[in-house]
């Protein structure tokens, strides 16, 4: 038995698992953000609810583990930022601990039991509040020991103009300290930012997508610019990795029409030609973080 966790800035979700296909969620808890001891106690409480003596703990978490220092970089949960989190939790909980980034766990889940089954190279793309990603090759995470591979949301990769006809795109500053990052235009907040820049009107990403599907011209213009700016960096990721499937997670993946538009544009910009969908909505719609953590705990390999 393994106890797996999916930990974000709002909630700690735990589950008992005997295999990646048999996951039994436990009640979620609020994530303590500023007190590390309370953070440990929340995890201890989940372990107490699980009962018995697990073989180990596997964690999907927001943030990235530096593969050299083993320290986590996590802006969303200040009390763990900069800590050697796995080592500290092992000392506190007296169990082996494996940790991976939440986007990596999403990619592992999709490669194992989702849209990536049967594919040798799977790139999992997150289009949520922002942009993230993870890479699985031959069933294993590239970031199995931590690392930054798959972080296509960061780096100055956004074009200075976009759309048909093109319009100038500001060099939006990114939270990582750079500008023109895909993260600034590619997630839900990016779509909203573009719409406000183009039309001077503030709408939620859900409202923009709904208006687009209803035939609204302003929303259609925003979607056109959004897809144009997003698709070239994603096409480059696919050319570099050789991915043959790109499952998408995060809130924007709920729009099948938007994912289909991104897929059509990306497939027109890559070297290899596919006569089937390449960019698709993820199939692990319920708790992909826990599924990925379970796979991580049971050897880190997608079946």
Total domains in the fold of the chain:
2
Domain that holds residue 94: 2-104+286-297
Q: What is the mean pLDDT of the chain?
A: 94
Q: Is the same domain home to 8 and 132?
A: no
Q: Is the same domain home to 87 and 160?
A: no
113 assigned to some structural domain: no
| Confidence grade of residue 75 (pLDDT, cut at 50, 70, 90) | confident
- On the CB side of 28, CA atoms within 13 Å amount to 12
Note the pTM of the prediction, 2 decimals. 0.93
Beta strand segments in the chain, E: 2-7, 11-19, 22-25, 29-30, 56-61, 64-65, 72-73, 97-101, 121-127, 131-137, 140-141, 161-162, 167-168, 246-249, 279-281
pLDDT in tens, 7-42: 999 999 999 998 877 899 999 999 999 999 999 999
pLDDT in tens, 137-175: 999 999 988 889 999 999 999 999 999 999 999 999 998
Residue 296's DSSP bridge partners are: none
Q: Is the same domain home to 182 and 206?
A: yes
178 assigned to some structural domain: yes
Q: Is the same domain home to 235 and 251?
A: yes
Model confidence at 176: pLDDT above 90: no
257 assigned to some structural domain: yes
Q: How far is CA 249 from the centre of its chain?
A: 6
| Confidence grade of residue 303 (pLDDT, cut at 50, 70, 90) | low
246 assigned to some structural domain: yes
Q: CA triplet 275, 260, 218: central angle to 5 degrees?
A: 140
Q: Is the same domain home to 235 and 149?
A: yes
Q: Is the same domain home to 135 and 264?
A: yes
| Confidence grade of residue 299 (pLDDT, cut at 50, 70, 90) | confident
Q: Is the same domain home to 268 and 150?
A: yes
Q: Is the same domain home to 137 and 199?
A: yes
Q: Is the same domain home to 155 and 94?
A: no
Q: Is the same domain home to 146 and 232?
A: yes
Residue whose structure tokens are 């048909």: 164
Q: Give me the percent of the chain exceeding a pLDDT of 90.
A: 87
| Confidence grade of residue 218 (pLDDT, cut at 50, 70, 90) | very high
135 assigned to some structural domain: yes
Q: Which residues contact 184 (CB under 8 A, 6 or more apart)?
A: 158, 172, 173, 174, 190, 193
Q: Which of 56-70, 194-208, 288-302 has the lowest mean pLDDT?
A: 288-302
Q: Is the same domain home to 96 and 122?
A: no
303 assigned to some structural domain: no
Model confidence at 302: pLDDT above 70: no
CATH code of the domain containing 254: 3.30.420.40
Are residues 47 and 27 in contact, defined by beta-carbon separation less than 8 angstroms? no
Q: Is the same domain home to 39 and 59?
A: yes
Q: Give me the percent of the chain exceeding a pLDDT of 70.
A: 99
302 assigned to some structural domain: no
């Amino acid at each position: 038995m393994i106890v797996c966790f999916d930990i974000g800035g709002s909630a700690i979700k735990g589950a008992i698992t005997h295999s990646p296909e048999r996951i039994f969620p436990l009640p979620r808890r609020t994530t303590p953000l500023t007190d590390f001891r309370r953070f440990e106690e929340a995890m201890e409480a989940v372990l107490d609810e699980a009962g018995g003596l697990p073989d180990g703990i596997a964690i999907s978490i927001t943030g990235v583990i530096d593969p050299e220092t083993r320290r986590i970089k996590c802006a969303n949960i200040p009390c763990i930022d900069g800590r050697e989190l796995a080592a500290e939790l092992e000392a506190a909980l007296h169990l082996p601990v494996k940790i991976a980034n939440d986007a990596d766990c999403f990619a592992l889940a999709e490669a194992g039991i989702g849209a990536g089954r049967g594919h040798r190279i799977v790139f999992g793309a997150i289009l949520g509040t922002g942009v993230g990603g993870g890479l699985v090759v031959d069933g294993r995470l590239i970031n199995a020991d931590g690392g930054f591979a798959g972080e296509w949301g960061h780096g100055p990769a956004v074009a200075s103009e976009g759309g048909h006809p093109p319009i100038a795109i500001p060099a939006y500053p990114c939270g990582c300290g750079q500008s023109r990052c895909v993260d600034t235009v590619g997630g839900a907040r990016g779509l909203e930012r573009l719409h406000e820049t183009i039309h001077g009107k503030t709408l939620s990403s859900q409202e923009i997508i709904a208006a687009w599907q209803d035939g609204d011209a302003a929303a259609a213009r925003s979607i056109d610019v959004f897809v144009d700016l997003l698709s070239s960096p994603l096409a480059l990721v696919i050319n570099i990795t050789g991915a043959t499937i790109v499952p998408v997670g995060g809130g924007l993946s709920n729009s099948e029409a938007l994912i289909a538009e991104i897929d059509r544009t990306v497939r027109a910009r890559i070297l290899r030609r596919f006569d089937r969908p390449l960019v698709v909505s993820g199939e692990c719609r319920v708790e992909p973080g826990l599924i990925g953590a379970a796979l991580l705990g049971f050897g880190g390999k997608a079946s």
